[in-house]
Amino acid sequence: MPAKHTQQKRLSIGIVGGGIGGVAFAVALSRDRNLDVQLFEAAPQFSEIGAGVSFGPNAVKAIQLLGLEEAYQRIADSSPAPFEDVWFEWRRGSDDGYLTASLAPGVGQSSVHRADFLDAIVANLPDSIAHFGKRCIEVKQDTYSATACFDDGTHFTGDVIIGFDGIKSAVRRHVLPPEEYGEINPFWSGTYAYRGMIPTDQLEAALEAKGSEKRLALVPQMYLGRDRHILTFPVKQSQLINVVAFITDRSTANPALPEGEEWVQTVTQQEMLDVFEGWSPACQAMLECIPEPTRWALHELPELAHYHRGRVLIVGDAAHALVPHQGAGAGQALEDAYVLATLLTDASCHRDNVSDVLAAFEQVRRARTCKVQRTSHEAGDVYEYAGVGIGSDESKLIENLENRFDWLWNHDPQDDVLSARKALGLVN
């Protein structure tokens, strides 16, 4: 599948992967008529697994910069007044006792249903760009072009290939060849997450029946305990409450999933209730409202040596998949999308220097995305009384929870663009 009209265009770009990051990136590129943009998705149509996803202020900023704010705000949830700046309230899982709140002024807990958000972005994508049933199995490049090969026997050749193809990325093998870097596989974090969605009115009634405040349904909550924590936040215009209950195996340094175990499976409600036996009334109320929980084995990637090789770049979860404990994964993919799209749509970027542009992107993004990976893992430790130097000391816990997100949230991806342009000699 050769690029169409390549000669008339400044740059021909193939995007592998049609999740939130890949589609947002394609939308941003599609506004530049001088680019030939083609997106390849393995599935038969755009689809996201139906779970809630939360965005910090940095991610909301990236959404605005990508020109997707109107689409986002139509479906985004936020905390009810007077709690609109609350990211999460933090409580003891043993008795619902309030510890503190993390505040994100002007944003709070901005969250959506993943599938709804993807649909909202896709609505901005021109018709001719997306190709389905295209599972990438190999990437190749030479001095002048890069090629993605698909399992249906077709291929795409362009000036650059961008791998937005997730934690199980096929493009990653080309960027970090196993013969040079060894096999780089996602590893299990040691944490299982039980997930469910509860109709808001049902949860409010269940909370009241247990003698708990019904506002615990609509205001985002995080319940903390040893090796376990539970979070809740509203989605679908506050019609549903997204509940995720985590348990971590810290008995060994490198926990391993049982051989052949699926990453996601439906389990019994009783298994989940047993894990949280003895927890607070509010926690019991929530878990009892989830008759068929799914259990997710949370995987992440090691910090990679680099993201770029010649005309090929991996971004989003393909480069820096992380655990969800800071609500940061989708946000990093959107930051990547904004920074990369801004650099590639710059008129100074062309097929002869695009490798330098990808190198500059990596130079300004890699340290941040690696730090987000690392601190997301550490956040799970903090929430489960296993934080280094913090443990179950509530005064230290409160101080950490009130301040740990500032560096993550107060980041402007426009600064990354400026740094990359300086590295490329485009600005002083």
58 to each of 166, 314, 326, 335, 400, how far by Cα in Å?
Answer: 21, 21, 12, 8, 19
Which of 245, 241, 244, 246 minimizes the C-alpha distance to 207?
241
Cα(116)–Cα(122) distance, rounded to whole angstroms?
10
Clarify whether 421 is annotated catalytic.
no
Residues 6+ apart with CB under 8 A from 403: none
C-beta of residue 83 within 8 angstroms of C-beta of residue 107? no
Q: Which amino acid is at 368?
A: R
Looking at residue 265, what DSSP letter applies?
E
Write the DSSP assignment of 1-23 as a string of letters.
-BPTTGGGSSEEEEEE--SHHHH
C-beta of residue 198 within 8 angstroms of C-beta of residue 271? no
Location of structure tokens 């006792």 = 97
Which of 66, 92, 137, 139 minimizes the C-alpha distance to 339?
66
Set 10, 172, 195, 309: catalytic member: 195
Question: What HEC string does 130-185 produce?
Answer: EEECCCEEEEEECCCCEEEEECCCCEEEECEEEECCCCCCCHHHHHCCHHHHCCCC
Radius of gyration of the chain (CA): 22
Residues designated catalytic? 195
